[in-house]
Amino acid sequence: MKLAFITDMHLGTEGENPQGVDVRQNFLKALDFVADMKPNGLVLGGDICNDTGDRAIYEWVKKQVDQLPIPCYVLSGNHDDPTMLAEAFRNTHHLHGSELYYALPLDGRPVLFLDSSKGELSPEQWTWLREYLKALRDNNILILMHHPPLPADVVFMDRKYPFGQSDAFLDIMRELPCHVTVVCGHYHVDKVVQRGNLLALLSPSTFYQMQHNSPEFAIDHYQIGIREINLTTHGTTSTVHYLKPGQ
Ligand SMILES: [Fe+2]
């Protein structure tokens, strides 16, 4: 089971190029790459919009991903509106209040799609997550969410825009007898963080990548990044692909 994970596209309205980057073109290039990769599914990891959720942008994105012959799953980021996103992706049955979270078996493997768009999970989402983890106890689990659930030594992001409930998340994971892999975005870096039975794969953006060590906001480079995830009966492998300039 191969998944492509594209995240942090930060799309604006047509013709809007944040920081001079043609983010729509970048997204389309990433989709072209995904088409060649021939995955079984595509995940959009949130921060689809650059500023706030926008129906027209979500509809445009839906139109683009519908051209691929694979299902597309969406996560809400802190710049998204979960309700608008769910409406555009005909996914409203997965809305719980104003949060978009759900569980799907992918190739027989349980996958949880969380909504961290408010920087934390609501009490209802925590209850839902605990119940699912209890039911899935003996399975290795894949969790997809926008925020890295724990600090990642990316100084600026850890200080300014971290997930607000890392300790609670780690406490729950620590109790599980299985391995948990989290694939996430938000930090605009490609990084692996392991703690106990938890492995977090931070994924690069299609907009810009951040420097890891800077205490201030600092861009590392503008290459478009895409994560590939392979789920096998033996475990998980993952690779980050960067498109070459001009590709
Ligand atoms: Fe974000």
Cα end-to-end span (Å), the chain? 26
Q: Which residues surround ligand 1, an ion (CB under 5 A)?
A: 47, 77-78, 186
Q: What is the pLDDT of residues 158-211, one digit of tens each?
A: 999 999 999 999 999 998 988 999 999 999 999 999 999 999 999 999 999 999
Q: How far is the CA of 53 from the centre of ligand 1 (A)?
A: 12
52-81: per-residue pLDDT in tens? 999 999 999 999 999 999 999 999 999 999
Question: Ligand 1 center to residue 9 CA distance, Å?
Answer: 10
Rounded to the nearest angstrom, the gap between the alpha carbon of residue 203 and the centroid of all alpha carbons in its chain is: 8
Beta strands at 225-232 and 102-106: parallel, antiparallel or unpaired: unpaired
Mean pLDDT, the chain, rounded, equals 96
Cα(139) to ligand 1 centroid in Å equals: 29
Please give the pLDDT value at position 136: 87
- Tell me, in angstroms, the distance from the centre of ligand 1 to residue 195's CA: 22
Given CATH 3.60.21.10, say whether it is the number of domain 2-243. yes
Residue 191 CA, distance from chain mean position:
13
Q: Nearest 5°: CA angle at 241, between 237 and 242? A: 160
**Å from CA of 177 to ligand 1 middle:** 30
Q: Domain residue spans in the chain? A: 2-243
pLDDT score recorded for residue 61: 98
Name the pTM for this structure.
0.97
Enter the tokens of residue 1.
């089971």
The pLDDT, as a whole number, for residue 107 is 85
